[in-house]
């Protein structure tokens, strides 16, 4: 039988898929290239009078297997690098969080200085505070710190300061007017004993990193 009349469509398909797997599609076309390549090569050996394209099939097989090997290598490298990248990111987030809390502590101090050394939750609304809206929880932290930060909005540069960089569950508000609990990562204590007369009382805390702002404005 003339070679040109022999069937070699499957071998050609395997070659094309193998080439695509090397260029951009990876194992998506690499696996079909391997399967079709094996079938086509087997047919050329068992029924050579009907099927041709053994070389094409082998080429498709080689490229298919090569793409799978490359995929495995990439996955292995990524598996090793991702934890390292996460570890490298964590210290940066911790430092950024610390900077946020320093600015929050400074904002509390400035606001208190302008309001007879009192924090917003100890100042009545008639004087610009939010004492009537204070919602102190059993743990001493206010259940809605967003209201406290809204009162101090002039002392805070941006609502983004209220989101810990490691807190993926919260999103910064567009502005302080629309600030909600969902836009705040940091906790604020709002008890009557939280004042500048008790400088070592905890004023605010990051629940993720454990950073704490004290009434004297220091951060630890």
Pairing of β 202-205 and β 187-188: antiparallel
pLDDT grade, residue 1 (50/70/90)?
very low
pLDDT, tens digit (0-9, with 9 covering 90-100), for 111-146? 999 999 999 999 999 999 999 999 998 888 999 899
Q: Are residues 134 and 210 in the same domain?
A: yes
Shared domain check, 71 and 11: yes
Mean pLDDT score, 52-69: 86
Average pLDDT over residues 210-216: 94
- Domain membership of residue 92 (yes or no) is no
Nearest to 22, CA basis, from 58, 55, 71, 56: 71
In a domain, 69, yes or no: yes
Is position 95 within any domain?
no
220, part of any domain: no
Give the CB-side neighbour count of residue 77, counting CA atoms within 13 A.
6
Residue 113 has a pLDDT of 93
87 domain-assigned: no
User: Residues 52, 120: one domain?
Assistant: no
Residues 125 and 177 in one domain: yes
Please, are residues 134 and 190 in contact by the beta-carbon 8 Å criterion?
Answer: yes
For residue 202, the model assigns a pLDDT of 95
Q: What are 187's two structure tokens? A: 């906790």
Final residue in a domain of this structure, among 81, 104, 132 = 81
**What is each CA distance from 51 to 5, 8, 58, in whole angstroms?**
9, 6, 14
Query: Which domain range does residue 209 map to?
Result: 114-214
Query: Is the same domain home to 51 and 127?
Result: no
Question: pTM surpassing 0.85?
Answer: no
Confidence tier at 85 by pLDDT (50, 70, 90): low
Q: Please say which residue of 34, 61, 81 terminates a domain.
A: 81
Position 83 pLDDT exceeds 80: no
User: Are both 152 and 74 inside the same structural domain?
Assistant: no
Given a cut of 60, is residue 102 above it in pLDDT? yes
Q: What value does the mean pLDDT take over residues 150-160?
A: 94
Q: What is the pLDDT of residue 5?
A: 58
Q: Are residues 76 and 126 in the same domain?
A: no
pLDDT-above-90 percentage for the chain:
50
Total domain count, the chain:
2
68 and 119 within one domain: no
Is residue 86 one of the residues assigned to a domain? Answer: no
Residue by residue, DSSP assigns 101-116 as: HHHHHHHHHHHHHTTT
State mean pLDDT over 88-103.
87
pLDDT higher than 60, residue 48 = yes
């Amino acid at each position: 039988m003339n070679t040109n009349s022999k069937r070699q469509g499957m071998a050609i398909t395997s070659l094309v898929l193998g080439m695509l797997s090397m260029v951009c599609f990876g194992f998506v076309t690499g696996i079909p290239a391997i399967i079709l390549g094996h079938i086509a090569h087997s047919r050329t050996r068992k029924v050579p009078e009907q099927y041709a394209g053994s070389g094409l099939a082998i080429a498709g097989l080689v490229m298919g297997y090569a793409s799978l090997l490359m995929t495995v290598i990439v996955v292995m490298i990524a598996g090793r690098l991702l934890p390292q990248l996460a570890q490298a990111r964590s210290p940066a987030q911790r430092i950024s969080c610390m900077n946020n809390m320093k600015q929050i502590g400074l904002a509390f101090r400035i606001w208190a200085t302008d309001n007879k050394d009192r924090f917003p939750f100890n100042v009545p609304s008639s004087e610009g505070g939010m004492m009537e809206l204070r919602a102190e929880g059993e743990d001493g932290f206010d259940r809605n710190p967003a209201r406290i930060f809204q009162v101090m909005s002039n002392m805070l540069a941006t609502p983004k300061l209220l989101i810990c960089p490691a807190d993926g569950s919260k999103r910064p508000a567009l502005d302080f007017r629309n600030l909600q609990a969902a836009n705040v990562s940091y906790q604020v204590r709002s008890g009557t004993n939280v004042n500048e007369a008790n400088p070592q009382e905890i004023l605010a805390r990051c629940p993720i990193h454990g950073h704490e702002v004290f009434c004297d404005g220091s951060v630890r």
